[in-house]
Structure 1
Amino acid sequence: MSPKNNITALHISILQELFYLENATCNQLTLRVQKSLPLVAKAINDLENWNFIKDTGLAPSSGGRRPLNYSLVNNRFYFILVSSDQFSTQIGIYDWGMNLVHPINRITLEIQQSDALFKIVNTIKEYIHDAGIESNLIMGIGFGMPGFIQATEGINHTYLTPPTNFYLREYLSQEIGLPVFIENDSRLIALSELKFNKELNQEHSLVINLGWGIGLGILINDSLFTGSDGFAGEFSHIPLSDDKILCTCGKQGCLEAVASLTAIVKKAIKEIDKGRSTRLQALKKLDNRNDMVDLIFNEALAGDQFAIELIADAAYSIGKGLAILIHILNPKEIVLSGKSSPILNFMMAPMQQALHRFCIPKLFSNIEIKASTLGPDAVFKGAAILVMQQLNKEKLNSFLN
């Protein structure tokens, strides 16, 4: 029988690093956790004996004896991961190796509806029940969502208002019976890039989430910058337009109001009502915003001039906003991610045009702008990182005694 309280901060650090790296040698882990080789070797031995990690064979040799590689035991523990945007919510359960173990549940739901929180809570409960995973094996729920979020306090000031006297995270944890961690979806995408994109410049990078809003994650000195109150990165609400179009935040002229997917859909319908000739006429017959965006993307890819124009106009405004960020933050790299990923080829040229027009050449000349390689699961990956960053020592210890 193992003694109680064997799990230490070093054990948890090793588990976290193996999650980010997928596999690593003892020497690699020593460098990552910045502890001595004997201490790390002992901790690895403990974790292997407890069936938290396993050796996966010999690593490639760089000269001399080949070291062992280690990885997490994937099916030892699980995460519930939730990703909401303004019009839909996705729920999935993944093991430690980020393998999906139960089909993702996607529901159409406008997050600003008064009963949206109630529906999400019930859907998560039903999903956990249907998945058949024992709740004690679930390390927690990571939840990415839009809005002005203070993750430390667990508050969303924009959406999913809980009953009086509750913060959102507290309410979710109480209703579902598991630890819950929330964060803005754009910052989670940036966190995913930081931890999983091995080619990313981690010292000075910006990650742009092009979706129903236009989010920003700021990566500085190998960490996610969140600002004094946790609101850093509200790129959507930089006032860039003179059109006085009302934004969801209540202000006029925000970037989101002229360049987000929401703005593109509204502009498309407005121009069609004016008699614009386009293959997008079917937009007015659709009720689902995701279907509307898919139609615009598909018609742009098929060559519809108006669809391409809509995307190009939005991209030009985004490029103008990026010029401001470049002047203030001087990044080395800008990564484009989010729901607009399928049509980035149409966006790059107008973005570059705006940057050349509004950005001082010396500041812009060495910046690399590129598409994310993480795919559509970036928010889920970031949500998993949230849970891994908060691994509960007491819960892990319960499996040793």
Structure 2
Amino acid sequence: MENKNIIGVDLGGTTIKFAITTREGEILEKWSIKTDPSDEGSHITPSIIHSINSYMSQNNLKASDFLGIGMGSPGTVNKKKGTVIGAYNLNWKTEQPLEEMIKGQTGIPLYIDNDANVAALGEQWVGAGNNEPDVVFITLGTGVGGGVIVNGELVHGEIGAAGEIGHMTVDPTGYECTCGKKGCLETVASATGIKRIATDDAASFEQDTPLKASVLAGDNINAKIILDAAKDGDAFGLAVIEKVSNYLGLACGNIANLLNPSTIIIGGGVSKAGEFLADYIRKYLAVYAFPTIRKSTKIRIAELSNDAGVIGASSLVLKEAIHKSNK
């Protein structure tokens, strides 16, 4: 296998990120373009092709200079066919033949997977996972997503839906989720869920605090404001984080009991609370995990931030190249 660089692509609803990486996961160069979901998303794939071809032209590079293109995409990904369907934030309602189009018009092989899975690979490879073989990644953003890596390989499941950590039931009588179930982790541990708990619990919280007063006054609060208040010692903020962390600890405990990973990585916007949040999750992991497992499972905060997707996408290419060379 020649020492060629890799193109990583992280396809998001607002931005498409690109990076040129080495086989060791080092980013050499990166850029981004806006995502245009108009006309049923028909401009998205051509814009990706144009951006890659423009980069190669400007740098006097050709397709054979690259090992491949890796891509993380929202929606349901068919890895064998190289297609995506159901990426509604991109307006992709019909099946998109990404591999056929991108490989066909750049000349570079394309490898694709779900965006949460790809971010998990990035963090496992050169981020908080320290290249350990058994790692679970949980991303806490507007929703809750994740990826499961066992023995160095992503777990996809029967229909490619493995890693739907946000839809683990943590409260059977809890809030209704957009998926139709009740009490999913996403309803209480996402940025939206944290705000919902604060809004619903403020009136019944006995102690008066600045955060409680702000919520009751109808101020425009968000998860960051709540977490910052808790960090500053606001009693109501701390109560909200205790509740959220209990749910997260329950989910992490069940994940740890089932898979026995070395590390569970917490990423996404909510993870910017850092070790403050991690310590709370560790406390509740110890409540719900089997005794020997609670001692061996580490909770770590993600390290790659916005680069996890492009780095993880690059690792898809590397894994495929290694598989081919071992045949």
Whether the TM-score (by the shorter chain) exceeds 0.5 is yes
Inter-partner Cα distance in structure 2 for 1:172 and 1:246: 39
Which residue is 1:120 aligned to? 44
**Pair 1:283 & 2:283 matched:** no
Give the Cα separation in 1 of the matches to 2:93 and 2:148: 32
**Structure number with bigger Rg:** 1
- Which deviates the most, 324-333 or 208-217? 208-217
In the alignment, is the contact (CA less than 8 A) between 2:170 and 2:183 conserved in 1?
A: yes
Aligned residues with identical type, % of pairs: 26
1:90 corresponding residue in structure 2: 16
Q: Is the 8 A contact 1:308 1:346 kept in 2?
A: no
| Deviation sequence 1:33-87 (CA, Å, 0-9, x none) | xxxxxxxxxxxxxxxxxxxxxxxxxxxxxxxxxxxxxxx5xxx755251242xx5
Identify the residue that residue 153 of structure 1 maps to in structure 2. 81
Change in CA separation of 1:253 and 1:199 when aligned onto 2, cut-off 3 Å: closer
Correspondence list, 1:97-136, <5 A: 98-101=26-29, 103-105=31-33, 107=34, 117-118=41-42, 120-121=44-45, 123-124=47-48, 127-128=51-52, 131=55, 132-133=58-59, 136=63
Aligned partners of 2:135, 2:30: CA distance in 1, in Å? 34
**1:149 counterpart SS class:** strand
Q: What amino acid sits opposite 1:117 in the alignment?
A: G
Q: How many Å separate the matches in 1 of 2:171 and 2:95?
A: 38
Q: Which moved more, 1:140-149 or 1:375-384?
A: 140-149
Count matched residues.
307
Q: Flag structure 2 segments of 5+ consecutive residues without an equivalent.
A: 205-210, 322-327
The answer to whether residue 39 in structure 2 is matched with residue 142 in structure 1 is no
Q: Give the CA deviation at 1:343.
A: 0.7
Task: Give yes or no for contact 1:162–1:168 (8 Å, CA) kept in 2.
Answer: no
Question: Residues 199 and 299 of structure 1: is their aligned pair in 2 closer, same or farther, counting only changes over 3 Å?
Answer: closer
Residue 89 to residue 104, structure 1, CA distance change in 2 (3 Å):
closer
Give, in angstroms, the shift of residue 202 of structure 1: 2.7
- Using the TM superposition, give the Cα deviation of residue 299 of structure 1 relative to its aligned residue in structure 2, in angstroms: 5.4
Structure 1 residues 128 and 221, CA, compared in 2 at 3 Å: closer, same or farther? closer
Deviation at 1:153, TM superposition (A): 3.4
Partner of 2:246: 316
Aligned to 1:237: 167
Q: Which amino acid aligns with 2:168?
A: I
- Counterparts of 1:176 and 1:117 in 2: how far apart (Å)? 20
Instruction: String of CA shifts for 1:172-191, please: whole Å, max 9, x gaps.
Output: 66688865432122322332
User: Are residues 1:191 and 2:121 paired?
Assistant: yes
**Cα 1:276–1:150 shift into 2, 3 Å:** farther
1:341 aligns with 2:271: yes
Indicate how the Cα distance of structure 1 residues 363 and 138 shifts in structure 2: closer, same or farther if over 3 A, else same: closer
Whether the 8 Å contact between 2:53 and 2:106 is mirrored in structure 1 is no
Query: What TM-score, normalized to structure 1?
Result: 0.61
**Distance apart, 1:269 and its partner CA:** 6.0
Give the C-alpha shift of residue 108 in structure 1.
7.7
Separation of aligned partners in 1, 2:127 and 2:133: 13
State how far apart, in whole Å, the 2-side matches of 1:255 and 1:218 are: 16
Q: Does 1:261 align with 2:187?
A: no
- Whole-angstrom distance in 1 between the partners of 2:99 and 2:233: 45
Question: Alignment partner for residue 130 of structure 2, among 171, 194, 200?
Answer: 200
1:283 counterpart SS class: coil
SS in 2 for 1:365: helix
CA contact 1:297–1:342 (8 Å) conserved in 2: no
CA distance in 1 between partners of 2:223 and 2:79 (Å): 30
Instruction: Sort the Cα spacing of 1:171 and 1:213 in 2 relative to 1 into closer, same or farther, 3 A.
Output: farther
Q: Which one-letter code corresponds to 1:357 in the other structure?
A: V
Q: TM-score, normalised by structure 2?
A: 0.73
Distance 1:213 1:198 in 2: 21
CA 1:264–1:163: 2 relative to 1, 3 Å: closer
Residues 1:177 and 1:216: Cα distance change in structure 2 (over 3 Å):
same
Q: What is aligned with 1:9?
A: none
**Superposition deviation, residue 214 in structure 1:** 2.7
The 8 Å contact of residues 76 and 114 in structure 2, kept in 1 or not, is answered as yes
Q: Deviations over 1:282-332 (max 9, x none)?
A: 537xxxxxxx55555555555655555544432221111111112222223
Secondary structure of 2:177's counterpart equals coil
Q: Is the 8 A contact 2:137 2:148 kept in 1?
A: yes
* Candidates 284, 293, 312, aligned match of 1:382: 312
Tell me whether 173-182 or 204-213 shows the greater mean CA deviation.
173-182
Asked if the contact 2:72/2:115 (under 8 Å) is kept, the reply is yes
Higher relative contact order (Cα pairs below 8 Å, separated by 6+ residues): 2
What are the ranges of 5 or more consecutive residues in structure 1 without an aligned counterpart?
A: 1-11, 16-71, 285-291, 392-401
C-alpha distance in structure 2 between counterparts of 1:252 and 1:368, whole Å: 29
Matched, 1:250 2:180: yes
- Tell me how far apart the structure 2 counterparts of residues 198 and 258 of structure 1 sit (CA, whole Å): 24
TM-align CA RMSD:
4.0
